[in-house]
């Protein structure tokens, strides 16, 4: 009656068996995407365009140390991958809007002002003629290419800057979706559910541990949530924690101090991250490393959160697993990046105005960034304090009247 549901159920059962049964083939089944893909594969474009893109990638990656125009700091592979997809988005929009694909022979094709307008109009229409961060990001990329790769003149560049200004959503701070998700934590019960999730998850597994892989995955997720609560790093840094390089102990044994230290070269904004872990977190980490990490690692694996083969777990898979496990146990809707916002909210709710501590803990370079995102997140807590004061005065007044 419902073939799509049947397919989802079969895939789900297969993946659970793959995680929990050692002899089961370690192949994860993925449902085909329902999204209507409109981007055209790069190989469909003229060779000269592909050559230009390849040269640009080399430029971004800093492979030529003598390239005077190369970025001061090479772009990370993930950033390059994201920009390549945006290039395809822009080029595909031009084709969909009527430009013959054979005319897109170089990147200069869409740094022309009218071509840029054509591509941006396609995405504005998809967004119901509303400016979005996606449209603005595409406009910024076109302008960046025009300035640093195609090297257009100043008059041309000013016109592209004007396009960027026109499609700028002028949005700063948390999105409405993230604000909605954070409101869950105005409820003290939800706060307790999340904060207690890691320990309760581990206790539940230890109570009936049968040595299964999926039980080890559950403890792995509990540890990840614990780390994100105490050391709210970005998702890319979480999944790439290396036991040997990033976890530093002052001494062996339980009396030692444990830090997670990530050099700036591996962090989005280039600043070092250093978190001293509380004793409770260290105890959970040690339990995981001793009893559960070996079930998940393929031989001698340095990654705290190992994935298939010799690599670390992917951000996408881990994020999906964490969201599902937390929702199943608590009913809370969260994602990997939301943990940074949650930690800021919880601290500010209990320490109104404590933006400098939040800035340092999240690794923001400036207080301005912290204020832009989190100014006002403690409003609900402030309102509760305000209401409590008014109610206290009301009750005190009523008591005085009765006494009189």
| Confidence (pLDDT) at 155 | 95
Long-range contacts made by residues 70-79, C-beta under 8 angstroms, separation at least 24? 73/270, 78/236
What pLDDT, on the 0 to 100 scale, is given for residue 377?
Answer: 65
Task: For the chain, give the percent of residues with pLDDT over 90.
Answer: 53
- pLDDT digits over 229-273, tens only? 999 999 999 999 999 999 999 887 677 899 999 998 888 888 888
Tens of pLDDT, residue by residue over 282-301, are: 999 999 999 999 999 877 88
**End-to-end Cα spacing for the chain:** 75
Does the structure show a pLDDT above 70 at 70?
Answer: yes
Distance, in Å, from the CA atom of 325 to the CA atom of 328, rounded to the nearest integer, reads 5
Distances (CA, A) of 161 to 141, 157, 169, 304, 312: 11, 6, 14, 44, 40
Q: Lowest-confidence range among 28-42, 300-314, 333-347?
A: 28-42
Task: Look at residue 354 in the predicted model and tell me its pLDDT.
Answer: 80
Long-range CB contacts (within 8 A, 24+) of 115-124 = 116/142, 116/160, 116/163, 117/163, 118/93, 118/94, 119/90, 119/93, 119/94, 120/163, 120/167, 121/97, 122/93, 122/96, 122/97, 123/89, 123/93, 124/167
Q: What's the rounded Cα separation, in Å, for the pair 201 and 203?
A: 6
Helix 113-126 vs helix 133-145: angle between axes, to the nearest 10 degrees?
A: 160
Per residue in 327-375, pLDDT (tens digit) is 999 999 999 889 989 998 888 888 877 888 888 888 887 777 777 777 7
**Sheet containing 247-249: order of strands:** 247-249, 258-262, 273-276
**141-193 per-position pLDDT tens digit:** 999 999 999 999 999 999 999 999 999 987 667 777 888 899 999 999 999 99
| Residue-level pLDDT at 296 | 92
| The length of the chain, given as a count of residues | 404
Give the per-residue pLDDT at 38: 78
Q: Which residues pair with 265 in a beta bridge?
A: none
Displacement of CA 281 from its chain's centroid (Å): 22
Closest CA to 163 of 140, 146, 145: 140
* CA triple 29-226-289, angle to 5 deg: 75
């Amino acid at each position: 009656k419902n073939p799509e549901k049947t397919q989802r159920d079969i895939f789900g059962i297969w993946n659970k068996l793959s995680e929990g049964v050692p002899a089961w083939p370690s192949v994860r089944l993925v449902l085909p995407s329902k999204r209507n893909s409109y981007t055209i594969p790069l190989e469909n474009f003229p060779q000269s365009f592909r050559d230009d893109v390849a040269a640009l990638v080399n430029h971004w990656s800093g492979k030529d140390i003598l390239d005077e125009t190369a970025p001061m700091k090479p772009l990370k592979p993930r950033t390059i991958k994201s920009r390549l997809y945006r290039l395809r988005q822009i080029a595909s929009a031009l084709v969909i809007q009527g430009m013959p694909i054979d005319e897109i022979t170089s990147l200069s094709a869409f740094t022309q002002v009218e071509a840029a307008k054509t591509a941006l109009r396609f995405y504005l229409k998809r967004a119901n003629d509303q400016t979005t961060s996606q449209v603005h990001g595409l406009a910024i990329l076109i302008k960046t290419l025009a300035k640093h790769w195609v090297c257009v003149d100043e008059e041309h560049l000013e016109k592209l800057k004007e396009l960027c200004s026109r499609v700028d959503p002028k949005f700063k701070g948390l999105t409405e979706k993230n604000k909605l998700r954070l409101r869950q934590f105005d409820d003290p019960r939800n706060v307790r559910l999340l904060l207690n999730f890691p320990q309760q998850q581990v206790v539940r597994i230890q109570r009936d541990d049968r040595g299964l892989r999926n039980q080890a995955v559950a403890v792995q997720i509990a540890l990840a949530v614990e780390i994100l609560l105490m050391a709210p790093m970005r998702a890319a840094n979480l999944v790439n924690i290396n036991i040997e390089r990033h976890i530093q102990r002052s001494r062996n044994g339980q009396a030692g101090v444990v830090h997670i230290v990530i050099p700036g070269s591996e962090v989005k904004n280039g600043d070092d991250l250093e978190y001293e872990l509380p004793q409770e977190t260290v105890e959970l980490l040690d339990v995981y490393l001793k009893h559960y990490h070996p079930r998940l690692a393929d031989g001698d694996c340095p990654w705290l959160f190992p994935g298939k083969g010799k690599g670390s777990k992917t951000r996408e898979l881990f994020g999906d697993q964490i969201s599902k496990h937390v929702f199943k146990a608590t009913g809370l809707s969260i994602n990997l990046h939301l943990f940074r916002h949650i930690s800021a909210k919880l601290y500010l709710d209990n320490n109104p105005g404590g933006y400098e501590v939040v800035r340092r803990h999240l690794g923001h370079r400036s207080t301005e960034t912290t204020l832009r995102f989190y100014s006002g997140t403690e409003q609900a807590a402030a309102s509760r304090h305000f209401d409590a004061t008014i109610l206290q005065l009301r009750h005190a007044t009523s008591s005085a009247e009765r006494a009189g």
